[in-house]
Amino acid sequence: MDQQPKSVLCFGDSNTWGFEPATAVRYPWEVRWPGVLQRELGGGFRVIEEGLNGRTTVRDDPAVAGRNGKDYLVPCLNSHQPLDYIILFLGTNDLKKCFSVSAKEIADGVGILARIAQASAIGPGGRMPTTLILAPPPLGRLTGYAEAFEGGTAKSLELGARIREIAAELECAFLDTAEVIATSDIDGVHFEPAAHETLGREVTRRIITLLQKGNRPQMNTDEHR
């Protein structure tokens, strides 16, 4: 019997969905970072894209229903099992003024999701899947989103360090995306194609390194330093 491809779930927000800042439409699959990840990993992997505009870590958006990541994560994991890798890439939308939470509270929300993933036992053979946490880059020059994210910029600059602490505590692999990409100057929130390409390639390197190390969580510090 042929070996089954290893499955990688990308669980994120509009930057995983592929929101294009210039037009507010969706980038093609091959441009979005999960599509880049699939291309770079090749046929031995199956990348599952689970991005949603406005998704938070654990918070209900008062303006739009269904954006709480915690509510959807368990059914999502069960729907796609078995999963070898779970990539969590959330936190940007929690910076919105309406939630009024600190960087630490946002990181704690990421930790709740990571604990759910670790406890899921939906890896092959009922094992725990490997979790890779991505910290989002800081907000940039906000244009149309200035009101929604009022007060969020300072917290976004702290968020990477806070999420790094959570990843270390939970022994999850970690990547601070601020060290490889930045948000677009068009809106200060979303990514341009070059950033998707860079991120997809960097996540590929992290997945391959994890695979070579037997999925042990040695990557909760940034290896490219």
Q: Mind listing the pLDDT tens digit for each residue in 181-224? A: 999 999 999 999 999 999 999 999 999 999 998 754 433 334 43
Domain ranges of the chain: 6-212
Q: Which pair of structure tokens corresponds to residue 211?
A: 């695979």
Predicted model pTM: 0.94
User: What are 197's two structure tokens?
Assistant: 């390409």
Longest dimension (CA), the chain: 56
Nearest to 94 by CA among 85, 86, 103: 103
Distance CA 109, CA 111 (A): 5
What is the CATH class of 6-212? Answer: alpha beta
Say what the pLDDT of residue 144 is.
86
pLDDT of residue 109: 98
What residues contact residue 115 under an 8 Å CB cut-off, 6+ apart? 170
Enumerate residue ranges in the chain where pLDDT < 70. 1-2, 215-225
What is the structure's pLDDT at 199? 98
For residue 215, the model assigns a pLDDT of 57
**Whole-number Å distance between alpha carbons of 173 and 115:** 13
Question: What is the sign, positive or negative, of the torsion defined by CA atoms of 168, 172, 173, 178?
Answer: negative
